[in-house]
Each structure stands twice: as C-alpha cells, then as structure tokens.
Amino acid sequence: MHRRRRTALLLSAVLAAAPLLTACGSDAHPGAAAVVGDQRITVAQLENRVSEVRDAQRAAVPDEAAYAQVIAKSGTLPRDVLHTMVLDRVLHRAALDHGVSVTRKEVQEMREGLEKQVGGAKALETSWLQQYGVPPQRLDDNLRLQLEAQKLATALGTDTGKPAFWDALAAASKKLDIDLNPRYGTWDTRQSARTDAKAPWLREVTAPQQPA
C-alpha cells in the first residue's frame, strides 16, 4: 500500500455515527473530553469537529435514504474524532522531540500532487471524506499530520508501520500524560490509541428490541 494512503488510514477519523452514551463526567477536568499535556480538548470542541464531518457528509449525500445509511453504518464517530485530535498532538510532540517540522509549503505541495492524481481539488476533498472521514476544512491539517508522520519515520530511520515509530509516539504519549473523559474511553500510552473503557458507570443506551 502506498505510504500516503497507509498513513491516512492510520491517522484519520473513520466514517461512523456514535451511539448515545450516558456517563459521569470527568471530575478532575469538568467540561473536557480530554487533557493532553497542558491543553484541554473541550466537549464543545469535539462536538464541533464531529459536526464538521456530519455537515460534510450531508452535503455530499443529499439523498435522505443514502445519508441515513451513512449515519447507521457504525457507532464511534465522536470517539474516533477525539482519537484523531489526541493523536495529532502526540505526533506533533514526537516530531518536535526529534527535530521534525512541516512547512505550509510542503503541505501545499503534497495537496497539489494529490489533486493531480485524483482529478482536482473537489475530487480530493470527496475522496478524503469518503475514505477517511476528513471534512474539506480539515484536509490541510490531515496532510500536515501525514507529512509529520512520514518525516518522523525518516528521522528515526524506520517506517510508520514499524515498532521504532510507535515507540516514539508512546514516549510522547507518556510525556503528555493524556487523560480522557471516561465516556470516551481511555488512552493506551503504549499503543498511542484510544480504547473503550469498561466500567459500571458507563453504559450504552440503545433502542429497546422488539419482541420476536
């Protein structure tokens, strides 16, 4: 698989809808979906990012029935989006720790190259939304994320799929001391990934099943 596509799959949000969750908030960080280092990702910020994806999906799929199918496919969009928001910060910290930076020009050059490959700016935006759940206004951010990952791997003398790369992310995760609101799961420092929490005060509310 091409490195750009593999990295996009790795770092992008997944097209999905979230089940309704009921849970106690994070007492230590009220109003926060996550705390990464000294930065808070608020629930409002997360909801705005989820709305961006949903709005882009709605614009791309005007048919009501088709849009309903998109919504019904899965149940993890807010958690997947939060995973991407946290991983963005982890990757950026790892890149800084290893002297890696990405310029706006590099992002633009990557975008222009991809647009030529797929047939224009609109085609690229549609492709990234459909395949990776990235809305048009976040495309440049996602490309920067990919470039950081590629350049970090190069600096480490490895590839984004190899243990050395993930060890660097794990080290960055540990330094940032990531704390997720329990309703969104927990952060696995070793894997640099969000995992679902299993706790008695967290439950998914689903529609009651109809009797057979």
Q: Is 179 inside any structural domain?
A: yes
Instruction: For residue 44, give its domain range.
Output: 3-14+29-196
Q: For residue 114, is it within any domain? A: yes
- Establish if 7 belongs to a structural domain: yes
Task: Count structural domains, the chain.
Answer: 1
Query: Which of 7-11, 56-60, 61-65 comes out lowest in average pLDDT?
Result: 7-11
Which two structure tokens, joined as six digits, stand for 97? 């720790």
Query: Does residue 196 have a pLDDT over 90?
Result: no
What stretches of the chain adopt beta strand conformation (E)? 20-22, 32-36, 39-42, 179-180, 186-188, 193-195, 203-205
Long-range Cβ pairs for the range 173-176 (8 Å, 24+): 173/90, 175/37, 175/93, 175/97, 176/36, 176/37, 176/89, 176/90, 176/93
What is the pLDDT at residue 74?
57
Whether 154 is covered by a domain: the verdict is yes
pTM of the predicted protein model: 0.77
CA dist 139 and 12 (Å) reads 10
Q: Is the pLDDT of residue 95 over 50?
A: yes
State the CATH number of the domain containing residue 124.
1.10.4030
Q: Is the pLDDT of residue 24 over 80?
A: no
